[in-house]
């Protein structure tokens, strides 16, 4: 049997090699076309009164397979490929250019620009030529308005440059091709969702495989030439039920890997499905928690999302320059913001943490800067910000966190956020510390946030500077150690107050992989943390629908 498998692999390699060689040739043609048009544009613009001082092209190729099943049947099965162009053209100079934020106005937007998926130099250069011309005309007009804006508005607090000088980078990956058996996954999603069909009170249930091989080509007028190619494989499980009082009860699970073999086995997924069903049926009859303040433990996944929302978005560099932002940590550099045994890093160079793949991994950001590990909190002391090529006072250079979704302008964004705790306590000790806090504060119970679906935060200064983490599985923990499942709460608060209440963490790290949406679109991120004890949190009632559960009995009972 082993010999047979090896022979089969050799034959497969023989069939794939010409494809990979052709792909390499296509890749070379794309880079050459981008470099040629970049050089031609620079030469042509020299004759204009206003000349670009920086120009970059980025082309992103997405090979996507999406397979979804529901209640034991195939719902959708699709395969697609697209290539999208992003252009950064700057006129003016490094100190003041056309990207300088006109206060009270949103930045100008372009529709998505697609290029041929076939590596035809003439066709590609035609698209580059046309959109470069449009970008240039818009940039010149925008710079004129910005110069007027600077003269008539009050002086900005942060006088740092609009753009940073960074070294040219050269890096060429071999482009990857999609390697997923779509028909096998059609059977898998049928299998994964079939158990939900046995229950008439579960009205929505899906299993979705989303596979994406992303290849990016990047060139700029500094001399950078970059090609990176990365696969991403996600498996999402979702199910929903409605309580008798109208509250929607969702249950989510997701798995992430850089190759399809890294996703869990069928047996492991079906075990997760069985647990989701048990959780939903338990949530339906669980009591609702009223608004509450008191001590709580956040599980590793919940704590990871908590740090992502409370802290991560507030250390993104561009927010320290924008005067409509709250700038919570702008003046906190060098100050203690967490207990001395807590550190926080942002490290896009990490592909794996323990057994978990990290979705925020990349080699180069969307501005051609190498990914870099950044220690943002070192043993409780705040050290600095996540930076794109938009400088702020005290931080004149990028640290490789300029990120975007295609079609958006890159800004400083999170990658892999990792919370580290020195001298951790055990999980049992953490629960004991929670119970001690409950007794000390004379509370009837504490809370344990076991699992979450995500969260969001508000960072502006014209609205409450707050966060909201959206838990799914929450337990009351009573002074005698008893635990009771509850429902209907959102974890809310303000960042500085909540940070000041962090007490301890255990030594078992868990990872939440997700998609983060912000000004520059949706980007993959991860957040990893141990369980964390907070001496005081606040919860509010979760939004509730007034619609009753279905009046008609389900056709499946």
pLDDT in tens, 113-145: 999 999 899 999 999 999 999 999 999 999 999
Residues in CB range of 391: below 8 A, 6 or more apart:
160, 161, 162, 163, 164, 397
Tell me the pLDDT of the chain averaged across its residues: 89
Residues in CB range of 438: below 8 A, 6 or more apart:
294, 295, 444, 445, 446, 477, 478, 479
pLDDT of residue 225: 97
Residues in CB range of 149: below 8 A, 6 or more apart:
102, 103
H-type alpha helices, 88-172? 121-152
Select from 3.30.2290, 1.10.10, 1.10.3470, 3.10.50 the CATH code of 20-231.
3.30.2290
Average pLDDT over residues 154-167: 86
Query: Per mean pLDDT, which range of 110-124, 151-165, 360-374 is the poorest?
Result: 151-165
Evaluate if residue 9 carries a pLDDT over 50. Answer: no
Domain boundaries, the chain: 20-231, 292-541
Distance CA 294, CA 535 (A): 7
Q: How confident is the model at residue 3 (pLDDT cuts 50, 70, 90)?
A: very low
Distance CA 294, CA 287 (A): 18
Residues in CB range of 21: below 8 A, 6 or more apart:
none
Nearest CA-CA partner of 490 in 512, 475, 473, 468: 468
Q: Which residue has the tokens 């890159």?
A: 410
Distance CA 62, CA 234 (A): 15
Residue ranges of E strands in 92-128: 113-115
Q: How does strand 374-378 pair with strand 381-382?
A: antiparallel
Average pLDDT over residues 206-222: 97
pLDDT in tens, 230-255: 999 999 999 999 988 888 999 999 99
Evaluate if residue 93 carries a pLDDT over 70. Answer: yes
Per DSSP, the residues of 279-319 read HHHHHHTSPBPPSEEEEEEE-HHHHHHHHHHHTGGGGBGGG
Q: How confident is the model at residue 75 (pLDDT cuts 50, 70, 90)?
A: very high
Distance CA 149, CA 152 (A): 5
Average pLDDT over residues 62-74: 97
Distance CA 331, CA 312 (A): 16
- pTM (2 decimals)? 0.89
CB distance 392 to 321 below 8 Å? yes
Nearest CA-CA partner of 367 in 416, 334, 342, 401: 401
Six token digits for residue 480? 């005698």
Evaluate if residue 390 carries a pLDDT over 70. Answer: yes
pLDDT of residue 20: 40
Q: Which residue has the tokens 């964390």?
A: 532
CB distance 495 to 460 below 8 Å? no
pLDDT in tens, 296-341: 999 999 999 999 988 999 999 989 887 777 788 888 999 999 999 9
Distance CA 523, CA 388 (A): 15
Q: How confident is the model at residue 456 (pLDDT cuts 50, 70, 90)?
A: confident
Six token digits for residue 553? 């009995």
DSSP 264: P
Distance CA 306, CA 310 (A): 6
Percent of the chain at pLDDT exceeding 90: 73
Find residue 113's DSSP bridge partners. Answer: 85
Report the residue count for the chain. 557
pLDDT of residue 25: 55
Six token digits for residue 530? 């141990």
Percent of the chain at pLDDT exceeding 70: 90
Torsion, CA 445, CA 507, CA 517, CA 357, rounded to 10: -140
Six token digits for residue 116? 């041929």
Nearest CA-CA partner of 537 in 458, 451, 457, 449: 449
CB distance 369 to 419 below 8 Å? no
Evaluate if residue 14 carries a pLDDT over 70. Answer: no
Query: Per mean pLDDT, which range of 23-32, 368-377, 383-392 is the poorest?
Result: 23-32
The total of other beta-carbon atoms located within 10 Å of residue 93's CB is: 12
pLDDT of residue 152: 66
H-helix or E-strand containing 74?
A: strand 73-91
Six token digits for residue 119? 């590596």
* 235-239, 287-291, 464-468, 485-489: which is most confident: 235-239
Nearest CA-CA partner of 366 in 320, 327, 311, 411: 411
Nearest CA-CA partner of 531 in 555, 508, 553: 508
Q: How does strand 416-421 pair with strand 521-529?
A: parallel
pLDDT of residue 23: 54
pLDDT of residue 253: 95
Six token digits for residue 29? 């043609």
Per DSSP, the residues of 165-206 read -----EEEPPPP-----HHHHHHHHHHHHGGGGG-TTEEEEE
């Amino acid at each position: 049997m082993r010999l047979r498998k090896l022979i089969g692999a050799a034959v497969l390699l023989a069939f794939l090699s010409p494809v990979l060689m052709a792909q390499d040739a296509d890749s070379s043609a794309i880079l050459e076309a981008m470099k040629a048009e970049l050089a031609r544009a620079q030469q042509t613009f020299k004759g204009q009164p206003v000349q670009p001082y920086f120009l970059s092209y980025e082309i992103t190729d997405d090979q996507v397979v999406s397979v979804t099943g529901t209640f034991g049947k195939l719902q959708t099965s699709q395969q697609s490929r697209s290539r999208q162009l992003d252009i950064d053209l700057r006129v003016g100079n490094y100190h003041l250019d056309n990207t300088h934020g006109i206060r009270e106005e949103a930045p100008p937007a372009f529709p998505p620009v697609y290029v041929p998926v076939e590596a035809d130099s003439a066709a590609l250069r035609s698209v580059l030529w046309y959109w470069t011309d449009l970008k240039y005309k818009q940039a010149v007009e925008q710079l004129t308005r910005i110069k007027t804006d600077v003269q008539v508005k009050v002086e900005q607090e942060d006088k740092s440059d609009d753009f940073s000088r960074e070294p040219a980078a050269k890096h060429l990956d071999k482009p990857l091709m999609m390697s997923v058996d779509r028909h096998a996954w059609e059977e898998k999603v049928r299998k994964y969702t079939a158990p939900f069909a046995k229950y008439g009170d579960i009205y929505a249930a899906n299993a979705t495989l989303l596979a994406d091989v992303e290849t990016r080509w990047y060139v700029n007028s500094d001399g950078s030439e970059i090609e990176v190619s990365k696969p991403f494989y996600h498996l999402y499980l979702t199910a929903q039920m409605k309580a008798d009082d109208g509250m929607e009860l969702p249950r989510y699970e997701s798995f992430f890997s850089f190759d399809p073999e890294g996703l869990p086995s069928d047996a492991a997924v079906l075990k997760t499905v069985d647990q989701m069903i048990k959780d939903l049926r338990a949530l339906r009859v669980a009591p609702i928690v009223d608004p509450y303040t008191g001590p709580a433990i956040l599980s590793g996944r919940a704590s990871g999302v908590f740090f992502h929302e409370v802290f991560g978005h507030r250390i993104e560099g561009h927010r320290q320059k924008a005067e409509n932002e709250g700038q919570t940590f702008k003046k906190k550099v060098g100050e203690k913001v967490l207990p001395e045994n807590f550190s926080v890093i942002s490290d896009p160079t990490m592909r794996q943490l323990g057994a978990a793949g990290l979705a925020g991994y990349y080699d180069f950001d969307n501005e051609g800067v190498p990914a870099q590990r950044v220690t943002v909190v070192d043993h409780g002391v705040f050290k600095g910000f996540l930076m794109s090529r938009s400088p702020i006072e005290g931080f004149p250079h990028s640290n490789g966190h300029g990120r975007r979704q295609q079609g958006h302008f890159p800004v400083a964004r999170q990658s892999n956020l990792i919370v580290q705790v020195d001298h951790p306590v055990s999980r049992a000790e953490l629960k004991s510390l929670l119970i001690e806090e409950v007794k000390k504060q004379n509370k009837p119970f504490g809370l344990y946030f076991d699992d979450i679906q995500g969260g969001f935060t508000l960072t502006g200064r014209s609205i409450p500077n707050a966060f909201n983490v959206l838990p799914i599985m929450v337990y009351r923990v009573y002074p005698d150690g008893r635990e009771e499942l509850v429902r209907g709460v959102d974890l809310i608060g303000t960042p500085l107050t909540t940070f000041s209440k962090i007490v301890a963490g255990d030594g078992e790290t868990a990872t939440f992989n997700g998609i983060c949406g912000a000004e520059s679109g949706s980007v993959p991120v991860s957040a990893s943390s141990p369980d964390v004890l907070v001496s005081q949190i606040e919860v509010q009632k979760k939004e509730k629908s007034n619609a009753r559960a279905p009046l008609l009995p389900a056709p499946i009972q």
